Structure formats: C-alpha cells, structure tokens
Amino acid sequence: MSDIVKNKVKVHQLRITPSEVIKYMSPGEMTDKEYFTGFAATGLDKIKDENVYFGYTVIPASLDAPLLSIDNTIFNVGDDISLMLRSVERTVVFVCTVSPELNRSLTQYSFSGNYLEAYMMDIIGTVIIEKTLKKLHEEIKNHSGSEKITNTISPGNCGWSVEEQRKLLNLLPDGFLNVKLNDSGMMDPVKSLSGIIGIGSAVIHKQTECRYCKSRNCPYRKEEFIPA
C-alpha cells in the first residue's frame, strides 16, 4: 500500500450555492421556491466553518473483466465499469465523509419533528459530499499529470454491488476518517462515500449517464431514471 493521504476542507471552501441545493428537489416538492432557496442559504451559512474530510491511497490494480484486482482483493465491478477501467494500472481507493460536528448539524432536525427542515439539510449533506468528490477528483487529476484517470466510481454504481464496500474499506486503515459500516453495510456517518478512481494509459473518463444507470435511488442522481 502506498502512503495514506488525508485532507480537510471547510464547507464554505466548496462554494456551494443555494441553487445547487434546490436542484435536487423535484418540481412537485418545491411548493415555494423562495422559501427553499432562503432555507438553503441559511443552512449553508450555519455550517460554513464546519469540516468535511476526504482521504485516499493509491494501489496497483489489474482488470480481468469483469473482475478487478486491487492488492490481491477481487471485486466484481461488472461490464460498464470494466469498460472505464480497461488497462487500469493503479486505483485510488478513497473515502469522503463529514465531521462529527457537521453530522450533528445535518441531522439535528431529524430529532425535532421538523421534517421539511430535516429533508433540506439532508439534501445539503448530499451536495456537500458531491462537491467534496469533485475536489478529490481535481486533486488526483493534478497529481496524475499526463496519465488518464476515470471519474469517481463507488459500490452501488453501474452494477457494482454495494456489498463489496466492506472489502473496499478493508484496503484502508481500520477506522479510516472515523467511518464505520453497520451490520447492513450502511456507512456511518450516512453522508459518507467510498470508491475508486482508475489510473492508466487507456482508462476512460465518462460524463454522467444517470438516465441509464440502474441505481434508481442513488442520492447523487442528476437526471431522471429511464427504465429499460
């Protein structure tokens, strides 16, 4: 295993706008756009100085589609991800997560009966992780120089079983960034994400294909699901 990298970023450094938050709401949910925009702005301001963490390590990898080997651990990533990872040479194994303080801020409304506010803060948490993923990807791109890299790929995406998340986290130090998996495989804090970025001479970076992705309930979906 190569060196372990850990990074911390303040919420305000992610430059999230209220419009980025409310775009996750469907038109039917947005009964009062002005109210939701104002709440998103207020919510972001309250947590602007709280921390988000992301960390990773870079590990040699090889692909025998649909099986990906990372440090002798075998993952069945499926055909779609195999296409992106063709001729992969190394993988970045990463985790993004919120700090305990930020997690409390995001979940406090869930225990107060304020369901609308709880819903809005949940969306804010989703956007925070999405923007953190972009920051991670930019860092890897800058460090990889002329090498090609894939987009971020997580268990549960594009046919890769979420059950393999435990094996993926086992490639990182125990308790990495204080993220845990419960018995059902859910991450704690909930606003956490693990995954990989492939590095190699022929790997492919694909723009989002959310409309065709089979993960109907993915919290990071940007486009409407189109059933087969």
Q: Tell me the Ramachandran region of residue 78: left when phi exceeds 0, alpha when psi lies from -120 to 50, beta otherwise.
A: left
3-state DSSP call for residue 169? helix
Tens digits of per-residue pLDDT, 61-111? 999 999 999 999 999 999 999 999 999 999 999 999 999 999 999 999 887
Return the domain boundaries, the chain.
5-200
Pairing of strands 73-76, 192-200: unpaired
The CATH code of the domain at 5-200 is 3.40.109.40
Within 13 Å, how many C-alpha atoms sit on residue 219's CB side?
16
Where do the H-state alpha helices sit in 70-147?
78-84, 100-107, 115-144
- Bridge partners (DSSP) listed for residue 195: 94
Q: What is the pTM of this model?
A: 0.88
Residue 131 token pair: 């923007």
Confidence of residue 209 (pLDDT cuts 50, 70, 90): low
Percent of the chain residues topping a pLDDT of 90? 69
